[in-house]
Amino acid sequence: PQEKTEETEIELAKFNFPDNLTLKYGRVKKLSFSVLNTSLSKIELVFSDNVIQSWSSPKGKISFELNSNNLPLGAQEIKINIFF
């Protein structure tokens, strides 16, 4: 019989806004995320499968702005890609 292995999830960074974000057309929204691990080499901010900003050796709270004039209409996904 195989031994059960436990997986541990480590939070490396997190957004500082609710899961469902509303952004009106013609507006700029200031947002942020917090880096929780100091060993990261790079973070990319991805909106609708497009990298819109990146940071090298990110630490602490990272602020950014989303300008709705440059974004597609409708429901979209925002995420961060993390690199060591």
Task: Give 17-54 pLDDT, tens digit per residue.
Answer: 988 888 888 999 999 999 999 999 999 999 989 999 99
| pTM to 2 decimal places | 0.83
Residue closest to 45 by CA, chosen among 1, 83, 3: 83
pLDDT grade for 64, boundaries at 50, 70 and 90: very high
Going by C-beta distance under 8 Å and a sequence separation of 6 or more, which residues neighbour residue 14? 33, 34, 36
Sign of CA dihedral 37, 16, 82, 58: negative
